[in-house]
Structure 1
Amino acid sequence: MPRLLVVCLLLGLFIRPAAAFETAAEEAILIDLTAGTVLYEKNADLQIPPASMSKIMTAYMVFKRLKAGDLSLDDTFLVSEKAWRKGGSKMFVEVGDRVAVRDLLRGVIVQSGNDASIVLAEGIAGSEAAFADMMNREAEELGLRDSYFANATGWPDPAHRMSVRDLATVASVLVQDYPEYYGFYSETEFTWHEIRQSNRNPLLYRNIGADGLKTGHTEEAGYCLTASALRGDRRLVMVVAGLDSARQRAEESERLLEWGFREFTAERLFETGEVVEEADIWLGQSETVPLVVTEDTIMSLRRDARDDVVMTVSYDGPIPAPVVAGDRLATLIVEVPNMPTREFPLVAGGDVERLGPIGRLMAGVRHLIFGEL
């Protein structure tokens, strides 16, 4: 039958809710990427016009092909008349030119160029519409539940929608899975055809650890920003949307990130391979087997936490032998007041062979007479 082993964390932690955070953003989310924890959310699953923030998905489509070797930064794409004529933010590519992927990426990321986005889309998929279809298929694979792409630019379209949670998900994937290309997002300026443009991300200039990602603005969307910042070994990812001005966007974004770094800390509860508990074994040459974590177990906790963190080890026990090292046997459940419950897999830390026939017989007799396992 299932057996629950309750182990109280011996870190002297007590959780008191920090003062509630309020933001002028209509939609917002803040994630501690190091600990995989949502620290704050407001209307996080509402489908909204993402404006140019959806170019993060456009860049993701390119990064994925670069990493797979299907595309090179030195490859060049032809600039179509459609791309050249596109309004809004521009890289100022010229129709008929062939432009390298590395420059087009800077045009998209640093300059928010709609023209550069379309050149990439047409070069990869043949047309912007076909590229949007590819984006939607990729969104399903990424688990984006509240996103639909009608174009590669974020140009206003009634169907083109994302949630701030989905934006944070894509941003997190770029940070974690594509570090070799993520550096484009920290570049503060890019010059093309002797036209120098500065990165519109205001946090890059504020010395707070920010190193990406993308602003957005349309009349319907308001002023928006998807950003990430790294301090020491902690990384936060944030999205705000629906703000009234560029100044408010900068101030609210910085305030939310500062709050996340100040009020929370990422605590390493167990290191990879560390024993959490011993599980009982039935008919094994050892009576127990160590349960170990498969990766560093990190939780985001409020800095003023004390005494209320509870860890529970759950498994069906006793576990019948034989057991092979690495077998998934149990789950570590970590509960913290006012924070999402986290679950981590626990595996066997060693092999346990099954008892021979005589050993099994004796164990059965002891169980019948004394109730021993």
Structure 2
Amino acid sequence: MRRLAIVFVVALLAACSSAPKEEASRPSTAALPAEPLADVDPDVVPRAYAGIVVDARTGQILYQEAARSLRYPASLTKMMTLYLLFEQLDAGRLTPASPLSVSEEAASRPPAKLGVKAGTAITVDTAARALAVRSANDVAVVIAENLAGSEENFARAMTAKARSLGMARTNFVNASGLPDPLQYTTAQDMAILGKALSESFPRWFGYFQTEKISYNGRTWRNTNKLLGKVPGVEGIKTGYIRDSGFNLVTSVRRGGKHIIAVVIGGRTGASRNKKMEELIETYMPKASGGGIGSLFGMEAAAHVSLLR
């Protein structure tokens, strides 16, 4: 695990220092702090609604409400955990069959969890499915520790990656989304992350469509109840803690159109899902191949300028 963690950190720094010239405007992740951002309001509004719908082909914002206000991500956090795992898969440093060791710290995490035992190992494939389907907090720590040596180091890498993607108002301190006042995001930042996942990892994005996972004699179905119910939905991730309410990021493709929609702060899982369905049906017809108000069709530095 230590060797893989060293490789992960070295690779992250190398990627920052050897970027091609045309990407020179992207912020360097090597020097970014893990501390909360100093240039944003630290007051996160608990259990308050925020939402956004973006045309994923053009970046045009089709709908937004409180989209730049700070919220708690809850298990939407695991989207970034998986982003960093998918990077390792794409780079060939891991394969789906690669083993990830389980520590006592990881095994001790509260539910939702897969129930992994300290001293054992699970495959990368099992870990990815556990996050996408079960939203397993114990497995999030397994990934963090194996890739970066500790969850604290991994959280720094998560925040650095967020900055490089243009997520200017997001801060991570853990890999799972378990409650922490210093872990926050916005609906707009989550849309950026959802778009990045669907664009950057076509080979691995299917994990978010996994219907169920079985482990040690137990089976769990995907927490995203819109999969298989709403036409075109292909993931991405649900989330809930008491202070966030019910969250959901969704990627939808229909008839050559593609949108990313985010709902944060639902009062119940059912009301969150209903709101998401309403957003999909209202704004999917308005998605097109062109337009202004682009959120994503710029370099990351331009994203940061737009979001401030």
* TM-score normalised by L of structure 1: 0.65
Name the structure 2 match of 1:166.
189
Runs of 4+ more than 4 Å apart: none
Partner of 1:43: 66
User: Structure 2 residue aligned with 1:299, among 273, 290, 306?
Assistant: 290
Alignment deviations for residues 44-99 of structure 1 (CA, whole Å, 9 cap, x no partner)? 11111100011101000101111112222211111111111100211121211111
Deviation at 1:35, TM superposition (A): 2.3
- Tell me, yes or no, if the aligned pair for 1:34 and 1:233 is still in contact at 8 Å: no
Residue 46 of structure 1 aligns with an amino acid whose one-letter code is S
2:265 to 242, 245, 249: 242
What are the superposed Cα offsets for residues 193-214 of structure 1, whole Å, 9 maximum, x if unpaired? Answer: 1110010112103132101011
Q: Hey, what does 1:232 align to over in structure 2? A: 255
Higher strand share: 1
Structure 1 residue 176, shift from structure 2 partner: 0.7
Q: Which residue of the partner structure matches residue 27 of structure 1?
A: 50
**Aligned residue type for 2:290:** M
Kept in 1, the 8 Å contact 2:60–2:294? The answer is no
SS of structure 2 residue aligned to 1:226:
strand
Where does 1:179-194 land on structure 2 (aligned, <5 Å)? 179-194=202-217
Contact 1:77 1:123 in 2 (8 A): yes
* Distance change (3 Å), C-alpha of 1:185 and 1:83: same
State how far apart, in whole Å, the 2-side matches of 1:110 and 1:79 are.
19
Give the equivalent residue in structure 2 for 1:92: 115
How far the C-alpha of 1:25 sits from its partner, in A, is: 7.0
CA apart distance, 1:265: 4.2
Matched, 1:204 2:157: no
Query: Is the Cα contact below 8 Å between 1:25 and 1:240 reproduced in 2?
Result: no
Letter in 1 for 2:153: A
- Between the aligned partners of 2:290 and 2:163, the Cα distance in structure 1 is 28
The separation in 1 between residues aligned to 2:185 and 2:248, in whole angstroms, is 13
How far apart in 2 are the matches of 1:88 and 1:231? Answer: 35
Q: CA separation of 1:25/1:150 partners in 2, compared to 1, >3 Å: closer, same or farther?
A: closer
The structure with the greater share of residues assigned to helix is 2
Q: Who is 1:251 aligned against? A: 274
Shift of 1:31: 0.5
Distance in 1, matches of 2:48 and 2:253, equals 22
1:137 & 1:224 partners in 2: Cα distance? Answer: 23
CA contact (8 A) 1:53 1:225 kept: yes
2:83 pairs with 1:60: yes
Larger radius of gyration: 1
Counterpart code for 2:108? R
- For structure 2, the 5+ residue unaligned runs are 1-46, 299-308
Once superposed, what is the RMSD of the aligned Cα atoms? Answer: 1.9
Alignment partner, residue 139 of structure 2 = 116
Higher relative contact order (CA 8 A, sep 6+): 2
Equivalent pairs, count: 252
Segments of 5+ residues of structure 1 without an aligned counterpart are 1-23, 267-297, 301-338, 346-373
Percent pairwise identity: 31
